[in-house]
Structure 1
Amino acid sequence: MDGGLLAALADLLLPRTCAGCGLPGALLCRRCARLLTVPHLAQPRRFPVGFPPTVAAGAYAGPVRPAVNAFKERGRAELARPLGAALALAVAGVVAGLDGGCREVRLVPVPSSRAALRVRGRDHVRELTGRAVAELRAAGVPAAPARLLRRTGRVRDSAGLSADQRRANLAGTFALVPGAAAVGRDGVLVLVDDVVTSGATLTEAAAALAPAAVHAGPPVLAAVVAATPRRVPLTGPGADRRGQQGRLSGPGNGD
């Protein structure tokens, strides 16, 4: 049976809804997809020492948050295409200001823990990396995946932990794979992940990856699909009321 016909039948039996807003139609509607076309520097509330320059394609808030979680936690693997395109945009943004011509961009996925892989049954960051590489190559950017990091030891669930506690929880959990230092001598190394919140994960991963970037020229960079918006303290008349509104509408903790 024709693949297009199969897809049409699947839509009849299981109608698609937007993973962001829930409206029927595309798996990510145009309005929600546009929210992932706003590349900007990620700014954790408290910058960890060693946090790499990081660009996010959008804010981890509003419809973006359920869309990312649908891909990450609810098995909607088809979202790899639009989210991978968003990640490619973030990668292009973070390397745009580098000097030295058009060198190969090597995307280094942040490895998931063994526990997360068991629960999800898949490596979602690796899937995003593959899609982002394809998007970058289609745009004429020399890009390649580079699995240079591995997990070591165990970490506990980061939910409810402060920024300092997350950093301590992740200390020493990333290491270079054998031969990674030689691989990193050419090109630009860009750590990639789905979301950045406190910045602890990217900071620890960047520290582990740093020896592979010694001969690469620029420091380790990073790109993510979305970043938790930085909450700016409010002052002046009405600050308490506006602050309460911000807390009610703001996103919760991510990874």
Structure 2
Amino acid sequence: MDLLLPRRCAGCAAPGEHLCPRCRQALRTPPRRIHTRVDPHVPVWSLGPYDGTHRRVVLAMKEHRHLAVRGMLGPVLAAAVEFLQVRGEIDAAPAPVLVPAPTRARAARLRGGDPVADVCRASGLAVSEALRHRPGVADQVGLGVAKRRSNLAGALELRRIPPGRVLLVDDVATTGSTLAASSEALLAAGCRVVGAIVICHA
């Protein structure tokens, strides 16, 4: 199969591995606090800017259905959560439950499943897919700050109440609209949302 369909790095397209050593190293960047244009109501941390390796890996797992790289990002996410716990930015115990920001059902079908939820499950941490889109929500791609916010106003609903403390997870923070809508739905239900973490930020 490698002769017919050579394995290439999701981060740089180098042949041989799903993620080459150089791109693995790039993804090991410790999470840092970021601020988004829309107030997400909770602290937000990012593993890096939406550029270079981070951008290509996110596109590979979302738009190119690179399922293997989703599993490889799980330990990266787990290490980032542990880093925040060790630094005291998130309480060490009990560990937070990961709640992936929801993906529209049609987008998930086209992508071979929900990539953010797949990464969360691959982390080995507790996961609750507590949020979903209401019918009729438009794709956020190409929308400005105001339209992204209005598109998601009241557009998310709880499928279930996640137990314990909650850490939101998303792939990219662009304006913060998705994180804001997600945290609002959880906070309104009485959940304790300790923050949000994203693979990269634009």
Sort the TM-score into its range (normalised by shorter chain): 0.7 to 0.9
Contact 1:91 1:190 (C-alpha < 8 Å) held by counterparts: no
Aligned match of 1:11: 2
Separation in structure 2 between the aligned mates of residue 155 and residue 107 of structure 1, nearest angstrom: 23
Structure showing greater radius of gyration is 1
Contact 1:54 1:223 (C-alpha < 8 Å) held by counterparts: yes
Matched, 1:227 2:201: yes
Separation in structure 1 between the aligned mates of residue 188 and residue 144 of structure 2, nearest angstrom: 28
Q: Which runs of 5+ in 2 are unaligned?
A: none
Q: CA deviation at 1:108?
A: 0.6
Q: TM-score, normalised by structure 2?
A: 0.88
Deviation digits for residues 151-198 of structure 1 (CA, Å, limit 9, x no counterpart): 2132222222211211111111111224x1xx43x3x20011111111
Contact 1:57 1:89 (C-alpha < 8 Å) held by counterparts: no
Find the residue that maps to 1:107 and give its secondary structure: strand
Following superposition of structure 1 onto structure 2, how do residues 24-43 of structure 1 map, counting pairs within 5 Å? 24-38=15-29, 39-43=31-35
Find the residue that maps to 2:184 and give its secondary structure: helix
Separation in structure 2 between the aligned mates of residue 59 and residue 71 of structure 1, nearest angstrom: 17
Q: CA deviation at 1:98?
A: 4.6
Q: What is the letter of the counterpart of residue 174 of structure 2?
A: T
Change in Cα spacing, 1:24 to 1:99, as seen in structure 2 (3 Å) is: closer
Q: What is the letter of the counterpart of residue 154 of structure 1?
A: G
Find the residue that maps to 1:144 and give its secondary structure: coil
Q: What is the letter of the counterpart of residue 122 of structure 1?
A: G
Separation in structure 1 between the aligned mates of residue 90 and residue 120 of structure 2, nearest angstrom: 24
Q: What is the letter of the counterpart of residue 139 of structure 2?
A: D
Matched, 1:194 2:168: no
Separation in structure 2 between the aligned mates of residue 79 and residue 155 of structure 1, nearest angstrom: 28
Q: What is the letter of the counterpart of residue 16 of structure 1?
A: R
Aligned match of 2:135: 153
| 1:49 pairs with one of 17, 39, 50 | 39
Contact 2:61 2:69 (C-alpha < 8 Å) held by counterparts: yes
Contact 2:90 2:194 (C-alpha < 8 Å) held by counterparts: no
Find the residue that maps to 2:45 and give its secondary structure: strand
| 2:108 pairs with one of 114, 117, 126 | 117
Contact 2:75 2:122 (C-alpha < 8 Å) held by counterparts: yes
Aligned match of 2:144: 162
Separation in structure 1 between the aligned mates of residue 200 and residue 90 of structure 2, nearest angstrom: 26
Aligned match of 1:231: none
Find the residue that maps to 1:11 and give its secondary structure: coil
Identity of aligned residues (%): 37
Runs of 4+ residues over 3 Å off in structure 1: 93-96, 98-101, 211-214
Q: How many residues align?
A: 200
Separation in structure 2 between the aligned mates of residue 99 and residue 159 of structure 1, nearest angstrom: 31
Give the structure with the larger helix fraction: 1
Q: What is the letter of the counterpart of residue 195 of structure 1?
A: V
Q: What is the letter of the counterpart of residue 41 of structure 1?
A: R
Matched, 1:205 2:179: no
Q: Which runs of 5+ in 1 are unaligned?
A: 1-9, 135-142, 229-255
Contact 1:94 1:221 (C-alpha < 8 Å) held by counterparts: no
